[in-house]
């Protein structure tokens, strides 16, 4: 009797009785079912050998081996204790991956090996013998940190102990470094925190999550409050809530004491690479001591003006310089008259070298990287970086691009279509929705087609003068295509024909099947569902129709009805097919027909019976008794 498989039922660690500190037994309970080649459970007495490997493959090292002789097996079921004969090494289950192999009666090892699941790693629990003692069994001084252990052990270190609120130094000097009260408030340097977190160092205090009542009926909340004494303090993220609404302060500072100089908010910026800003304001700006106010209710919106009293066309009409700490000009905005040799209009300069970065001429021409724009907008890079000559257009998740007009009439759009996976659209205004050119993020191009799913999709008539190569550098023919060619319906735009790199001719069919069908399956005409096919399950079936294309990843050369049916079915050409050779070997050139094995072909041994049921010819051999996929030349007869 040939035994061909063992079904693993249970694999676990035997937890034998013992004390907590006892060694964990290195035993495994193995229970399985032994069957013959047809899957029928066997019985009797058999010798079983078990090996544990460091890997799944044939070259893996054997880490442990044990043989059990004359094991009684009843209805296929057996049970052994692994490790009861040959003890397992202590570090066996320290490996990341272990595989179990089984040999029956000296026969070759059953395949495949079984991976041992993580349960046996419980043997590693033996390291618990060296775990730390808890609940007062250790004299480590770290126990004194939270003050929760027996104070009698530390009377020589601390005068008080066990308040359950404070975090002290290990030697209790200082005490109450961090204190947590019943409300969850944390104090650092204080045992009376007034907010979520309060730090105190002499006259200096810092509060996180600060709340106060500055006046009756008001409640003030600050994310952070820092103070030195009672007359100098500041807030970050402060909201004052009154009956008529909230007043919000990003930064609020107060200096109220008698000193040489009081500054509520002071900023200084030096040494920055990109820029130095002591303060940035978005909104009205007031310096309330009368020095500067930038605000206006004027209808023309003028809030800041620079004027020149010189009547000189060569002189600058106005200039704003930006100086660094060393009185060096790091930027400037200049306005020149029509007689200026460098050109009229606005000049924007940056850097100590005072280089012009942008000009706006009186004509309205704008130059970026050039002082002599010859068009409405000219951008020139210096060639130092790839980005110097780029223009970036964005719109925070919305469409962004360029619109081209002829006078007041819109003619074309070049834009990023944010709602369709950021496609680039070059669209005429007359056919904005579907016309023009579309380029997807995958690099596919559509002409008259807004959702190209191939490298080039053209919707409409195309004229090409000369040779055309698609995906290839070979232009020796009128048309050379590297890759698949798809032909769509002019009426519906549905794909109807695809020319690919495969070796078969396939048509689309719907198949009457409850489960998914694998490529290489043999199909026959379904008499119960006109127009549909079904998985063949009858020998010498004259209703045989073809083979599901795509076996072993081999594509079809010609596909009809692409994407419109359940499966592509090869009707001619070369394709991989499921073949059953249990009735005899298959040799190249043998005629193949349907078999009783669902979806499988077999050798047509009865030629008279095979008339009208021939599927094709075998192009590869298959040993007797084997089942698998071989190359078949489909020739329905």
Cα separation, 593 vs 547, whole angstroms: 11
Q: Which residue has the tokens 């160092």?
A: 201
Cα separation, 511 vs 470, whole angstroms: 35
The whole-number pLDDT of residue 599 equals 95
Structure confidence by residue, pLDDT tens digits, 496-535: 777 777 788 999 999 997 688 999 999 999 999 999 999 9
Task: Give the pLDDT band of residue 586 (cuts 50, 70, 90).
Answer: very high
Range 630-637 average pLDDT: 94
Residues near 281 by Cβ (< 8 Å), separated by ≥ 6?
Answer: none
Range 141-169 average pLDDT: 48
Q: Which of 255, 254, 277 is nearest to 267 (CA)?
A: 277
474, exposed or middle or buried, with CB in 10 Å at 0-12, 13-18, 19+?
exposed
Please give the torsion angle defined by the CA atoms of residues 587, 588, 593 and 594, in that order, rounded to the nearest 10 degrees. 70
Q: Which of 569, 558, 589, 588 is nearest to 520 (CA)?
A: 569
Q: Residue 151 has what DSSP assignment?
A: G
Residue-wise DSSP of 25-60: P--EEEEEEEEETTSPBP-EEEEEEEEEESSSSTTP
SS3 at position 588 = coil
Cα separation, 98 vs 201, whole angstroms: 60
Percent with pLDDT over 90 in the chain: 23
Domains belonging to the chain, first-starting first, are: 3-128 (2.60.40), 177-255 (no CATH), 316-389 (no CATH), 393-483 (no CATH), 504-635 (2.40.300.10)
> Would the pLDDT of 93 be above 50?
yes
The whole-number pLDDT of residue 613 equals 94
Task: Give the pLDDT band of residue 313 (cuts 50, 70, 90).
Answer: low
Sign of the C-alpha dihedral, residues 525, 529, 535, 538?
A: negative
The pTM is what?
0.34
Structure confidence by residue, pLDDT tens digits, 441-499: 888 888 887 888 788 888 777 888 888 777 777 777 877 777 777 777 777 777 877 77
Structure confidence by residue, pLDDT tens digits, 235-289: 888 888 877 788 787 787 777 766 777 776 776 766 665 555 656 555 555 555 4
| Beta-bridge partners for 348 | 333, 358
Contact at 8 Å (CB) between 347 and 366?
A: no
155 or 28, which is more confident: 28
Range scoring the smallest mean pLDDT among 180-189, 207-216, 413-422: 413-422
> Would the pLDDT of 153 be above 50?
no
Could you tell me whether strands 186-188 and 178-180 are parallel, antiparallel, or unpaired per DSSP bridges? Answer: antiparallel
Could you tell me whether strands 558-560 and 504-509 are parallel, antiparallel, or unpaired per DSSP bridges? Answer: parallel
The whole-number pLDDT of residue 521 equals 96
Contact at 8 Å (CB) between 500 and 555?
A: yes
The whole-number pLDDT of residue 582 equals 94
The whole-number pLDDT of residue 538 equals 95
How many CB atoms are located within 10 Å of the residue 482 CB?
12
> Would the pLDDT of 144 be above 90?
no
Range 90-107 average pLDDT: 84
Task: Find the distance separating the first CA and the last CA of the chain, reported in whole Å.
Answer: 43
Cα separation, 163 vs 394, whole angstroms: 60
SS3 at position 420 = helix
Range 422-427 average pLDDT: 79
Contact at 8 Å (CB) between 576 and 551?
A: yes
Q: Give the Å distances, CA to CA, from 48 to 79, 165, 208, 256.
A: 11, 64, 71, 92
């Amino acid at each position: 009797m040939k035994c061909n498989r063992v079904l693993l039922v249970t694999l676990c660690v035997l937890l034998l009785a013992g004390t907590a500190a006892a060694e964990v037994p290195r035993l495994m309970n193995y229970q399985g079912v032994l069957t013959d080649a047809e899957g029928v459970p066997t019985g009797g007495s058999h010798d079983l050998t078990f090996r544990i490997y460091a890997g799944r493959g044939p070259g893996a090292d054997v880490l442990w081996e044990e043989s059990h002789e004359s094991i009684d097996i009843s209805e296929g079921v057996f049970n052994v204790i692994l490790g009861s004969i040959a003890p397992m090494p202590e570090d066996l289950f320290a490996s990341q991956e272990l595989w179990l192999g089984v040999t029956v009666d000296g026969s070759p090892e059953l395949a495949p090996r079984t991976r041992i699941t993580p349960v046996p790693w419980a043997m590693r629990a033996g390291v618990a013998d060296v775990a730390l003692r808890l609940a007062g069994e250790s004299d480590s001084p770290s126990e004194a940190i939270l003050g929760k252990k027996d104070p009698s052990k530390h009377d020589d270190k601390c005068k008080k102990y066990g308040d359950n609120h404070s975090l002290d130094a290990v030697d209790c000097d200082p005490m109450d470094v961090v204190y947590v009260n019943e409300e969850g408030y944390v104090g650092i340097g204080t045992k009376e925190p007034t907010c979520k977190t309060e730090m105190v160092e002499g006259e200096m205090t810092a509060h996180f999550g600060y709340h106060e009542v500055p006046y009756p009926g008001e409640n003030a909340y600050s994310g952070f409050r820092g103070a030195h004494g009672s007359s100098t303090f500041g807030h970050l993220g402060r909201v004052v809530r009154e009956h008529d609404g909230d007043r919000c302060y990003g930064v609020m500072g107060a200096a109220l004491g008698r000193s040489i100089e009081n500054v509520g908010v002071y900023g200084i910026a030096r040494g920055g690479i990109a820029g130095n800003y002591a303060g940035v304001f978005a909104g009205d700006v007031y310096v309330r001591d009368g020095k500067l106010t930038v605000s206006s209710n004027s209808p023309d919106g003028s809030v800041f003006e620079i004027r020149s009293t010189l009547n000189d066309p060569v002189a600058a009409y106005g200039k704003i310089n930006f100086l660094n700490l060393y009185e060096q000009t790091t930027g400037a905005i200049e306005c020149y008259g029509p007689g200026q040799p460098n050109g009229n209009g606005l000049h924007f300069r940056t850097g100590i070298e005072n280089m012009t970065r942008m000009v706006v001429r009186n004509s309205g021409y704008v130059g970026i990287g050039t002082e002599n724009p010859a068009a409405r907008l000219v951008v020139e890079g210096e060639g130092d970086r790839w980005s110097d000559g780029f223009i970036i257009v964005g719109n925070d998740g919305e469409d962004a691009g360029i619109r081209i007009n002829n006078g007041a009439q819109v003619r074309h759009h070049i834009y990023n279509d944010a709602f369709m996976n950021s496609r680039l659209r070059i669209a005429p205004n007359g056919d904005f929705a579907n016309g023009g050119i579309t380029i997807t993020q995958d690099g596919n191009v559509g002409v008259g087609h807004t959702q190209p799913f191939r490298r080039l999709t053209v919707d409409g008539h195309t004229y090409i003068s000369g040779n055309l190569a698609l995906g290839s550098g070979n232009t020796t023919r009128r048309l050379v295509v590297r890759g698949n060619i798809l032909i769509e319906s002019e009426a519906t735009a549905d794909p109807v024909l695809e020319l690919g790199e495969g070796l078969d001719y396939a048509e689309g069919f719907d198949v009457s099947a409850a489960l998914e069908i694998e490529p290489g399956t043999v199909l026959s005409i379904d008499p119960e569902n006109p127009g549909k096919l079904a998985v063949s399950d009858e020998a010498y079936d004259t209703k045989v129709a073809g083979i599901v294309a795509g076996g072993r990843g081999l594509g079809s050369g010609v596909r009809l009805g692409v994407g419109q049916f359940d499966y592509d079915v090869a009707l001619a050409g070369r394709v991989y097919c499921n073949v059953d050779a249990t009735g005899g070997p298959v040799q190249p050139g043998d005629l193949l027909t349907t078999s009783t094995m669902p979806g499988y072909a077999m050798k047509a041994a009865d030629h008279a019976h095979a008339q009208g049921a021939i599927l094709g010819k075998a192009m590869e051999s298959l040993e007797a008794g084997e089942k698998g996929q071989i190359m078949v030349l489909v020739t329905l007869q």
